[in-house]
Amino acid sequence: MKDNFQDFFSDSIIKFESMIKSNKFLFFDTDEFESIIIYYLESGNSSMASKAIKMAVEQYPNNTSILLLKVEALIFEDKIEEAEKIIDSLLELDKSNSEIIIQKSRILSKRKKHSESINLLKKINKDCEFYSDSLIMKGKEYLFMDDFKNAKDKFIEHIRDFELDYAVLNNLLYCFDTLGNTDDTINYLNDFLEQNPYCEVAWHQLGKQYFKKELFKEALTAFDFAIISDDSFVGAYLEMGKVLEKLNKINQAIEQYEIVTKIDDPNPFALYRIGCCHNKLGNTELASSFFNKTVVEDPIHENAWMSLATIHYKQKDYLEAKNHLIKAIEIDSENIKYWELYCKINLDINNNEEVEISFKEILSLGSLSLSTLIFLTKTLTQIPFNETLSREFLVKIEALPNSLLSEKKYLSYIILHNSNQINKANISLKEAYFHNPAIYDYFKDIFPTIPQLDVLKNMKVN
């Protein structure tokens, strides 16, 4: 039976294409037209699909199935108004037709009328063959509305009957993730795996949930089962490698990543992780080799460029470090860590002009962490006094919230002292200590300029 259908399908396509080439008229019944149009729509050949639809509509202008295929093509081409006119006329004739309802709901979705789309889909009964499609569509509409709970419920209902629909399973897990209850996700996946013990996707996702909770032993077991279910499942090997790195089992992690390179060669992520593992083991040359392989396969792998820059920087090969770092910055110019390293390199080679450029870039990147603010403060004390930078940086520090009052006063002290504004500096220092004496030692260790405690307490200010 299946072979007969396949022959019918192939013969219809050959017959249609022969007619187009010869420019002769041939007869096609509605079933043939449907199979031809569906074939071209699914293969992405919109030109041939349009030709088939035009001929089909001319021969069968009132055929609902063909008109629905025309609507599908129009939606694909984003011709929503034309599609809606046809679908509304069909709805007037048959308000309970599930296929018409589905296409109308798709149009409503395109118009961002997600609630209306859902309400329309609710008209499709459970005993209808398109009910499962309506569940998926309702789930996606709820996603558009950020209603993750209702989306989750619809996807769960669909999965009960179509357990191996991985696309829907992934949507469902996205809902669980967004709702933020890892335990609920783990419980659902364990129940799901009771019924589907060889579903590698579910095992993989379960392992990732255990990893989130730092249940590394359970995560490894889950990834093991994912690999047992499908020994070519790259994602499971990668995740297992990440867990082993967390457990400091670096050589075992390398083994997992090497398996990936054999299954999926080349795999930039695996190459990069192998490089990171060798770096942790102190195998700098091997690490560099794998980072270089990574950027050959993926020239926009910014982390690999940064890793190469860091290795060269530690080796005091500043030119190479700078060249590699520029590649990373070109890919992501808003990464503070890249600019910090760029600043350090230029400090070490006494290129104060480039230090100033990197300093200003960091200042422009919005809210900065305390560690970055400390880094910038130290930088100002390592270059010749720069009044403009000092003034701009003080403004940045003063804008910090009052929850960091002591921290910003300690940093202000360093900048003002460096600017030879001694009285203002001392006022800042005394305020810093008064508000939070507990962090005095922390800042004193970082900035030796801060005086000893007995000196600070006896300091006179105007």
For range 78-95, the mean pLDDT: 91
User: What is the torsional sign of CA 293, 298, 301, 305?
Assistant: positive
DSSP 3-state of 55: helix
pLDDT at 6 over 80: no
Tokens in use for 89? 């006329």
**Tokens encoding 358:** 């990197």
> Which band of pLDDT confidence, cut at 50, 70 and 90, is reported for residue 47?
confident
Domain presence at residue 391: yes
The pLDDT of residue 455 is above 50:
yes
Average pLDDT, the chain: 92
| pLDDT at residue 226 greater than cutoff 90 | yes
The pair phi, psi for residue 130, each rounded to 5°, is: -100, 10
What was the pLDDT predicted at 1?
41
Angstrom distance (rounded) from CA 266 to CA 257: 11
pLDDT(3) > 60: no
**Mean pLDDT value of segment 251-264:** 96
> Could you tell me the CA-to-CA distances from 99 to 80, 114, 132, 209, 281 in Å, in that order?
17, 18, 12, 38, 60
CA 177 to chain centre: 13
Domain residue limits at 441: 367-462
How far from 199 is each of 239, 241, 364, CA to CA, in Å? 16, 20, 48
Query: Is pLDDT above 50 for 192?
Result: yes
Task: Report yes or no on 263 lying in a domain.
Answer: no
pLDDT of residue 311: 98
Number of domains in the chain: 1
Cβ contacts of 425-430, under 8 Å, gap ≥ 24: 426/459, 426/460, 426/461, 427/461, 429/456, 429/459, 430/456, 430/459, 430/461
Band (447; pLDDT cuts 50, 70, 90): very high
Residue 5 pLDDT > 90: no
Q: Quote the CA–CA distance of 374 and 408 in Å, as a whole number.
A: 10
Is 431 a domain residue?
yes
**Percent of the chain surpassing pLDDT 70:** 98
> 4 pLDDT band (50/70/90 cuts)?
very low
Q: Contact 342/355 with Cβ under 8 angstroms?
A: no
Residue 81 within a domain: no
Taking residues 272-298, report their average pLDDT. 98
Q: pLDDT band for position 404 (50/70/90)?
A: very high
pLDDT of residue 2: 44
Q: Say whether pLDDT at 368 is over 80.
A: yes
pLDDT mean over 24-35 = 84
Distance, CA of 436 to CA of 416 (rounded, Å): 20
Tell me, yes or no, whether 408 lies in a domain. Answer: yes
Contact call for residues 161 and 132 (beta carbons, < 8 A): yes
pTM: 0.80
Can you tell me the distance from the alpha carbon of 333 to that of 296, in angstroms, rounded to the nearest whole number? 21
- Tell me the per-residue pLDDT of 87-102, one tens digit each, with 9 for 90 and over: 999 988 888 899 999 9
Confidence of residue 77 (pLDDT cuts 50, 70, 90): confident
- In this structure, the number of other CB atoms found within 10 A of the CB of residue 439 comes to 14
Residue 140 pLDDT > 90: yes
- Whole-number pLDDT of residue 9: 55
Q: Give the model's pLDDT for residue 246.
A: 97
Q: How many CA atoms lie within 13 A of 369 on its CB side?
A: 7
In-domain check, residue 436: yes
Residue 462 included in any domain: yes
Is residue 426 assigned to a domain? yes
How large is the average pLDDT for residues 157-177?
Answer: 90
Question: Integer distance in angstroms from the first to the last C-alpha of the chain?
Answer: 99
Per-residue confidence band for 48, with pLDDT thresholds at 50, 70 and 90: confident
Mean pLDDT computed over 352-378: 95
